[in-house]
């Protein structure tokens, strides 16, 4: 581990699983501490997390006025571990502060998840995460936040009376008390997570678009054959779908993760965080220090920029939903007349035409050759974009 300001550390570990907390002994004046301690917990649910934090004891030699410094933290979800396998890995100890991201060292752990009853573990995946009364008489979000804060204070008070005591800053860090506070860095991280999900959908749409535009004629011909088989034998659609998922799962088994996940600095957007963003993130709520007018103005302008982007996205979503409602609301009488007339025509056509023929015509139209395509948007898209919305009623 790296010492603070070139000095040695008095390191100790705190491990938490469920409502059980353990603390190792403090190793004095050591940059390479070895605790060699073993702990065992009864796992009550695979969907639980074990948290291990490393701290520098600043209360040695009667230093009662200081706070124990954070060295790093590791979170491991039990469900990500294979059964009866010993994981021995080194996890980076990362700490984010107002000065930026700092790697203080690595924590070498050996962890194993054993199961005595496979049937109980498998059935656990189908049980509710919370007690029954939470679903029968759910607690409001406001009261959940108040109860969470009250429970944290109770835990902190109980551990402060333990021997050796765990101070409030240790409990707060282990329980992530500031997780629900606004952070521009966390907002960027969540946006990155969404984009990673959307990128998978974009890949599938791009692959389907290449098939429709005959980028690979062999693949397109095979898709035509598969489509014709499914149209002629529609009872094979669902079995084929689940068989496809089964094959994908077996194929991905070769590339399964071989180690538990760890703190990801890139995903957390910690490497590119600006100093002012970090200062804003670590300020207490409400703010205890006075801020200059320039800092307040800069943060306000930045917040308006981010909120403007969110406002644009929500406006687009609301507009699309209002256009769907406008199909039958007669707000645009000509558009509603056209839609109602085509609905009647399609109802008669679908009634007198077998489903296989309709599906065949739609599929062949979607997979048609590029020579039969136009670069302009199709008629249904043009019709939908011309529908009115309530955006015109906004000031």
Q: In the 3-class helix/strand/coil scheme, how is 297-365 assigned residue by residue?
A: HHHHHHHHHHHHHHHHHHHHHHHHHHHHHCCCCCCCHHHHHHHHHHHHHHHHHHHHCCHHHHHHHHHHH
Among 66, 288, 71, 26, CA closest to 167: 66
User: Within 13 Å, how many C-alpha atoms sit on residue 366's CB side?
Assistant: 12
* DSSP-derived 3-state class of residue 155: helix
Among 59, 276, 106, 95, CA closest to 173: 95
Average pLDDT over residues 383-389: 84
User: Within 13 Å, how many C-alpha atoms sit on residue 100's CB side?
Assistant: 7
Above 70 in pLDDT, residue 16? yes
* pLDDT one-digit tens code per residue, 140-173: 888 888 888 888 889 989 988 888 888 888 888 8
Above 60 in pLDDT, residue 64? no
How far is Cα 222 from Cα 284, in angstroms, rounded to an integer? 61
Above 70 in pLDDT, residue 49? yes
Long-range contacts of 244-249 (CB under 8 A, 24+ apart): none
Give me 1's structure tokens: 């581990």
Among 80, 140, 68, 144, CA closest to 111: 80
Above 90 in pLDDT, residue 179? no
How far is Cα 55 from Cα 172, in angstroms, rounded to an integer? 13
Residue 286: is the preceding peptide bond cis (ω within 30°)? Answer: yes
How far is Cα 254 from Cα 11, in angstroms, rounded to an integer? 39
pTM of the model: 0.74
What is the end-to-end Cα distance of the chain in Å, rounded?
A: 59
The pLDDT score that the predictor gives to residue 112 is 92
pLDDT class of 62 with cuts at 50, 70, 90: low
Above 90 in pLDDT, residue 15? yes
The residues with which 94 forms a beta bridge, in sequence order, are 103
Does residue 166 contact residue 23 with C-beta atoms inside 8 Å? yes
How far is Cα 97 from Cα 219, in angstroms, rounded to an integer? 52
How far is Cα 234 from Cα 242, in angstroms, rounded to an integer? 14
Mean pLDDT of the chain: 83
Question: Percentage of residues in the chain with pLDDT exceeding 90?
Answer: 7
The pLDDT score that the predictor gives to residue 100 is 83
Q: Packing angle between helix 141-160 and helix 168-175, nearest 10 degrees?
A: 140
Give me 248's structure tokens: 């994908």
Domain ranges of the chain: 1-127, 129-180, 185-393
pLDDT class of 135 with cuts at 50, 70, 90: confident
The pLDDT score that the predictor gives to residue 50 is 92
Q: Comparing 262 with 394, which gets the higher pLDDT? A: 262
How far is Cα 98 from Cα 183, in angstroms, rounded to an integer? 13
* pLDDT one-digit tens code per residue, 329-374: 888 888 888 888 988 988 888 888 888 888 888 888 888 888 887 7
Above 80 in pLDDT, residue 242? yes
How far is Cα 337 from Cα 231, in angstroms, rounded to an integer? 33
Above 80 in pLDDT, residue 4? no
| Topology of the domain comprising 1-127 | Immunoglobulin-like (2.60.40)
* pLDDT one-digit tens code per residue, 180-204: 777 788 888 888 888 888 888 888 8
How far is Cα 124 from Cα 121, in angstroms, rounded to an integer? 5
Long-range contacts of 55-60 (CB under 8 A, 24+ apart): 55/11, 55/12, 55/13, 55/14, 55/170, 56/4, 56/9, 56/10, 56/11, 57/10, 57/11, 57/12, 57/26, 58/10, 60/10, 60/26, 60/28
Give me 256's structure tokens: 């399964």
Average pLDDT over residues 5-14: 78
């Amino acid at each position: 581990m790296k010492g603070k300001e070139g000095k040695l550390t008095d390191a100790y570990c705190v491990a938490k699983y469920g409502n059980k907390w353990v603390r190792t002994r403090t190793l004095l004046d050591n940059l390479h501490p070895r605790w060699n301690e073993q702990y065992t917990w009864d796992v009550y649910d695979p969907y639980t997390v074990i948290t291990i934090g490393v701290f520098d004891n600043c209360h040695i030699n009667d230093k009662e006025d200081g706070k124990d410094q954070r060295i790093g933290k590791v979170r491991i979800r039990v469900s990500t571990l294979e059964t009866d396998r010993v994981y021995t890995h080194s996890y980076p100890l990362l700490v984010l502060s107002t000065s930026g991201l700092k790697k203080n060292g690595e924590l070498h752990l050996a962890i194993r998840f054993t199961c005595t009853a496979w049937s109980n573990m498998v059935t656990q995946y189908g049980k509710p995460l919370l007690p029954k009364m939470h679903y029968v008489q759910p607690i409001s979000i406001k009261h959940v936040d108040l109860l969470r804060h009250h429970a944290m204070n109770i835990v902190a008070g109980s551990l402060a009376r333990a021997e050796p005591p765990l101070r409030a800053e240790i409990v707060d860090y282990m329980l992530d008390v500031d997780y629900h506070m606004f952070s521009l860095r966390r907002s960027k991280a969540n946006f990155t997570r969404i984009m990673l999900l959307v990128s998978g959908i974009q890949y599938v749409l791009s692959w389907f678009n290449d098939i429709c535009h005959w980028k690979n004629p062999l693949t397109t011909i095979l898709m035509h054959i598969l489509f014709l088989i499914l149209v002629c034998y529609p009872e094979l659609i669902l079995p084929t779908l689940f068989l496809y998922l089964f094959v994908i799962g077996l194929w991905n088994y070769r590339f399964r993760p071989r180690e538990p996940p760890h703190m990801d600095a890139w995903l957390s957007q910690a490497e590119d965080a600006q100093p002012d963003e970090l200062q804003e993130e670590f300020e207490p709520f409400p703010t205890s220090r006075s801020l200059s007018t320039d800092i307040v103005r800069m943060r306000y302008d930045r917040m308006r920029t981010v909120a403007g982007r969110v406002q644009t996205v929500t406006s687009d979503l609301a507009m699309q939903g209002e256009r769907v409602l406008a199909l039958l609301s007669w707000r645009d009488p000509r558009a509603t007349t056209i839609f109602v007339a085509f609905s009647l025509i399609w109802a008669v056509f679908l009634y007198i035409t077998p489903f296989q023929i309709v599906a065949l015509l739609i599929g062949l139209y979607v997979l048609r050759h590029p020579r039969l395509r136009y670069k302009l948007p199709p008629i249904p898209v043009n019709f939908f974009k011309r529908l009115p919305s309530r955006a015109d009623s906004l000031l």
